[in-house]
């Protein structure tokens, strides 16, 4: 059995299922009317079109919300809606989701209908207020839902349990796309098949929202990458150029690490409106200027992030015995602290809460792993916080600044009470297969490319190789933070392995024997291709 076959077998991709996975059939999409309230949403939108009512698309400041907003604006224009505008909430003013103030402002502008994308499922009081002001609300969302749905015209969310839709893990932009598919059956203007040109937005939002890349998500991203390579959107063409991404080699990593951070930087530092303006621009020059501005914001975001991380590491030393990191500072931008929390988790292998002190209020984000739920830790701390919630591995919290110490005590007491064991082992990579270096070649990497798009639910394959000798060792980077190792097997075959921002234990001496876990890849430099590995973990044998 070849190494590629062993990898397929480890992922449960037998011959009967493999072809559908490797080449997803776009035409096998699920019936959008199986989603809850889809019929109600379409009927209300049909009435809005007949009356040419004023519609506000209420988005979110992350990429899922941004792409969903741009998708709806694009599709509604095709369907013939003439009075549609977007409201893009500001992280530093409205915060996440619908707010009463925003609803009142929208109503004062004579809107008849609010269509939410990527938010709204838990916005009961805001939707009630909209109704009082004579504004209907249609919710399209993919986040957790309440036991009783808010009084909207429709709440289209695959997380609801009262429906027969077979896939619950759509991204927010994926739910918006299902709305468009449903509308195509009742509205003129967007013939069947033409909706595929929206898949560039669907792919971008789906990858960057880190939903499982299986079922419809995989199909949408697979074909969306092909659409993105030929996108008609000046904004996306400009952003691809600014990010120096070759459309001939587009993959999910291009979106998650190239386009995504630049678009997210707008909402983290200023306003996501900059990113939306770029996405919906019809002017190539204006789109390019927007893309350049997003790039400059991302450079600033990285600098600010590095500064916060450095300061956070110093604060962590004071609480080194705590199983959960809780650090805060008045000078840390709460739009960035979530990324810093991820970096602290990687460094210390502990769940992390990182927060900005904003006068009397402190606001921040959490990242966790393993069996510790950040959302549950927030829930059990409800007596000392103002509000908070999220998911097991990522959450947000707001609390009185005076209670930061009490909150630290609460989440650490909660962790200790769980009596968890061997949690750090859950952070270690798990190999799809063990292999000799001779099996890791360009042919294999070409075969592995068929498994793209990689992401949550379909990670890039990991290979383990044992008993390799370190024959060359290089430190790289302005702070010697990267490492490159040349490793040799017992047959004398050598291969280079690179790790960025490597942990201390990766810096091993020549003559050391190690076992390694890595992603195989091809490095192309000055027309010459070599097979290399991206080092994920190593264990010293002797």
The boundaries of every CATH 2.40.50.460 domain in the chain are 433-540
pLDDT band at 13 (very low <50, low <70, confident <90, very high): confident
pLDDT band at 116 (very low <50, low <70, confident <90, very high): very high
330: CB partners within 8 A, 6+ apart = 356, 357, 358
Buried b (16+ CB within 10 A) or exposed e, 137-156: bbbbbbbebeeebbebbbbb
Report the pLDDT value the prediction gives residue 477, as an integer from 0 to 100: 87
pLDDT digits (tens, 9 = 90+) for 157-192: 999 999 999 999 999 999 999 999 999 999 999 999
Report the pLDDT value the prediction gives residue 14, as an integer from 0 to 100: 75
Do residues 99 and 117 lie in contact, with contact meaning Cβ atoms separated by under 8 Å? Answer: no
Tell me the percentage of the chain whose pLDDT exceeds 70. Answer: 100
This prediction has a pTM of 0.91
Q: Does 528 score more than 90 pLDDT? A: no
CATH domain 22-193 topology: inorganic pyrophosphatase (n-terminal core) (3.90.1640)
Closest CA to 471 of 499, 502, 512: 512
CATH, range 320-426: 3.10.310.30
Pick the CATH number of 433-540 from 2.40.50.460, 3.30.360.10, 3.10.105.10, 1.20.1540.10: 2.40.50.460
Do residues 83 and 53 lie in contact, with contact meaning Cβ atoms separated by under 8 Å? Answer: yes
pLDDT digits (tens, 9 = 90+) for 316-348: 999 999 999 999 999 999 999 999 999 999 989
pLDDT band at 16 (very low <50, low <70, confident <90, very high): low
Q: Which residue has the higher pLDDT, 100 or 524?
A: 100
Do residues 182 and 42 lie in contact, with contact meaning Cβ atoms separated by under 8 Å? Answer: yes
What is the arithmetic mean of pLDDT over 60-77? 96
Q: What is the mean pLDDT of the chain?
A: 94
What is the arithmetic mean of pLDDT over 99-107? 96
Closest CA to 69 of 85, 45, 83, 49: 85
What is the arithmetic mean of pLDDT over 149-160? 97
**519 pairs with which residues across the strands?**
534
pLDDT digits (tens, 9 = 90+) for 436-465: 999 999 999 999 999 999 998 899 999 999
Closest CA to 429 of 450, 460, 466, 453: 460
What is the arithmetic mean of pLDDT over 98-120? 96
H or E segment to which residue 465 belongs: strand 463-476
Q: Which residue has the higher pLDDT, 428 or 15?
A: 428
pLDDT digits (tens, 9 = 90+) for 297-318: 999 999 999 999 999 999 999 9
Long-range contacts at 378-381 (CB < 8 A, ≥ 24 apart): 378/411, 380/410, 380/411, 380/414, 381/407, 381/410, 381/411, 381/414
Q: How far is CA 253 from CA 83, 138, 294, 458, 535, in A?
A: 37, 33, 19, 13, 17
pLDDT band at 17 (very low <50, low <70, confident <90, very high): confident
Residue 439 structure tokens: 């099996």
Distance CA 34, CA 37 (A): 9
Report the pLDDT value the prediction gives residue 124, as an integer from 0 to 100: 95
Lowest mean pLDDT among 21-25, 70-74, 453-457, 477-481: 477-481
Report the pLDDT value the prediction gives residue 146, as an integer from 0 to 100: 85
Q: Does 210 score more than 90 pLDDT? A: no
419: CB partners within 8 A, 6+ apart = none
């Amino acid at each position: 059995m070849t190494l590629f076959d062993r990898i397929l077998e480890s992922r449960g991709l037998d011959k009967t299922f493999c072809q559908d996975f490797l080449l997803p059939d776009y035409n096998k999409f699920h019936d959008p009317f199986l989603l809850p309230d889809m019929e109600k949403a379409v009927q209300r939108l049909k009435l809005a079109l007949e009356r040419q009512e004023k519609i506000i698309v209420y988005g979110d400041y992350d990429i899922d919300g941004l792409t969903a907003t741009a998708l709806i604006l694009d599709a509604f224009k095709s369907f013939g809606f003439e009075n549609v505008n977007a409201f893009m909430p500001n992280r530093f003013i409205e915060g996440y989701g619908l707010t009463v103030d925003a609803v009142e402002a929208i109503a004062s502008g004579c809107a008849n209908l609010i269509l939410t994308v990527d938010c709204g499922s838990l916005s009961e009081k805001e939707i009630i207020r909209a109704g009082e002001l004579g504004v209907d609300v249609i919710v399209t969302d993919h986040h957790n839902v309440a036991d009783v749905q808010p009084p909207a015209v429709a709440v289209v969310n695959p997380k609801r349990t009262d429906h027969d839709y077979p896939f619950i893990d759509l991204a927010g932009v994926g739910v918006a796309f299902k709305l468009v598919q449903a509308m195509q059956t009742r509205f003129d203007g967007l013939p069947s098949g033409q909706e595929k040109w929206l898949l560039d937005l669907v792919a971008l939002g789906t990858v960057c929202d880190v939903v499982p890349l299986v079922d419809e998500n995989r199909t949408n991203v697979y074909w969306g990458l092909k659409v993105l390579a030929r996108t008609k959107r000046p904004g996306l063409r400009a952003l691809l150029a600014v990010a120096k991404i070759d459309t001939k080699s587009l993959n999910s990593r291009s979106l998650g690490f190239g386009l995504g951070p630049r678009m997210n930087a707008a909402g983290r530092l200023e306003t996501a409106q900059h990113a939306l303006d770029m996405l919906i621009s019809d002017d190539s020059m204006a789109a390019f200027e927007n893309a350049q501005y997003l790039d400059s914001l991302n450079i600033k975001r990285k600098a600010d992030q590095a500064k916060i991380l450095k300061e956070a590491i110093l604060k962590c030393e004071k609480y080194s015995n705590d199983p959960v990191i809780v650090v805060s500072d008045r000078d840390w931008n709460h739009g960035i602290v979530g990324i810093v929390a991820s970096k602290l988790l990687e460094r210390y292998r502990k769940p992390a809460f990182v927060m900005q002190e904003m006068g009397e209020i402190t606001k921040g984000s959490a990242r966790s792993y393993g069996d510790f739920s950040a959302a549950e830790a927030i829930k059990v701390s409800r007596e000392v916080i103002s509000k908070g919630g999220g998911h097991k591995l990522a959450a947000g919290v707001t609390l009185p600044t005076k209670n930061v110490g009490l909150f630290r005590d609460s989440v650490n007491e909660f962790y200790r009470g769980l009596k968890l064991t061997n949690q750090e082992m859950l952070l270690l990579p798990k190999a799809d297969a063990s292999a000799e270096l001779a099996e890791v070649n360009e042919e294999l990497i070409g075969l592995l490319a068929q498994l793209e798009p990689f992401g949550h639910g379909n990670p890039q394959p990991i290979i383990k190789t044992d008993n390799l000798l370190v024959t060359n060792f290089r430190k790289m980077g302005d702070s010697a933070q990267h490492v490159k190792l040349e490793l040799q097997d017992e047959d004398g075959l050598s291969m280079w392995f690179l790790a960025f921002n490597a942990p201390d234990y990766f810096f091993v001496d020549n003559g050391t024997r190690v076992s390694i876990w890595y992603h195989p890849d091809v490095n192309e430099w000055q027309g010459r291709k070599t097979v290399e590995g991206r080092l994920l973990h190593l264990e010293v044998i002797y």
